[in-house]
């Protein structure tokens, strides 16, 4: 009997089947935990996913709206993006916040670390709370067509609970901050 934390999968062979500057896809021939042969595909991310929940002194936050190609739909999200592996996630968070909203923050707190789609990918996400906000000029990337809206945090929370916001990073950030507010940890 395997200990629950030991890897029950045996890799027979592996083949890289796709690679670009953001992701790589490897197909593995495996012996699965029940002892049978099978395949497994793994998406390797070349960036750490970064989320930033900006919160001003009046308890307003900022959401970024954009059309998401993989979903074929519009999405409201906190400012988010990626930071190259091996670089400072906090520096990446500062860059993303400025690029997408034009905001700089005087105070940064790590809110949450989580793995996204861990059944098929190794993508790690780090979410930060940004406070003491000052407005500068936004610098969006050429692939981004963004709409920024400043709303009360409670409205963002309602958007999560009514299903208007479905982005996993945003949902986790807003629910985590809501718990912190309820437990007087802010």
Tens-place pLDDT, residues 162-174: 999 999 999 999 9
Question: Which pLDDT belongs to residue 137?
Answer: 87
Per-residue pLDDT for 20 more than 60? yes
Question: Which pLDDT belongs to residue 49?
Answer: 98
Provide the b/e sequence for 140-163 (b: ≥16 CB within 10 Å): eeeeeebeeeeeebeebbebbeee
CA-nearest of 94, 98, 93, 95 to 169 is 93
pLDDT tens for each residue of 33-60: 999 999 999 999 999 999 999 999 999 9
Question: Which pLDDT belongs to residue 181?
Answer: 97
Which band of pLDDT confidence, cut at 50, 70 and 90, is reported for residue 124? very high
Question: Which pLDDT belongs to residue 1?
Answer: 59
């Amino acid at each position: 009997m395997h200990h629950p934390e030991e890897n029950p999968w045996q890799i027979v062979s592996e083949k890289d089947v796709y690679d670009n500057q953001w992701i790589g896809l490897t197909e593995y021939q495996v012996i699965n935990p029940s002892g049978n042969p099978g395949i497994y595909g793994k998406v390797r991310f070349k960036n750490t996913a970064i989320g930033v929940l900006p919160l001003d002194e009046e308890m307003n936050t900022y959401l970024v709206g954009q059309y998401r190609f993989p979903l074929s739909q519009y999405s409201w999200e906190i400012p988010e993006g990626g930071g190259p592996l091996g670089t400072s996630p906090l520096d990446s968070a500062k860059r993303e916040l400025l690029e997408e909203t034009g905001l700089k923050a005087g105070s940064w707190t790590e809110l949450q670390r989580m793995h996204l789609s861990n059944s098929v990918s190794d993508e790690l996400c780090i979410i930060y709370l940004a406070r003491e906000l000052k407005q500068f000029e936004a610098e969006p990337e050429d692939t981004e067509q963004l709409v920024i809206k400043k709303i009360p945090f409670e409205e963002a929370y309602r958007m999560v609970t009514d299903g208007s916001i479905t982005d996993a990073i945003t949902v986790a950030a807003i629910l985590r901050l809501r718990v912190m507010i309820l437990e007087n940890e802010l």
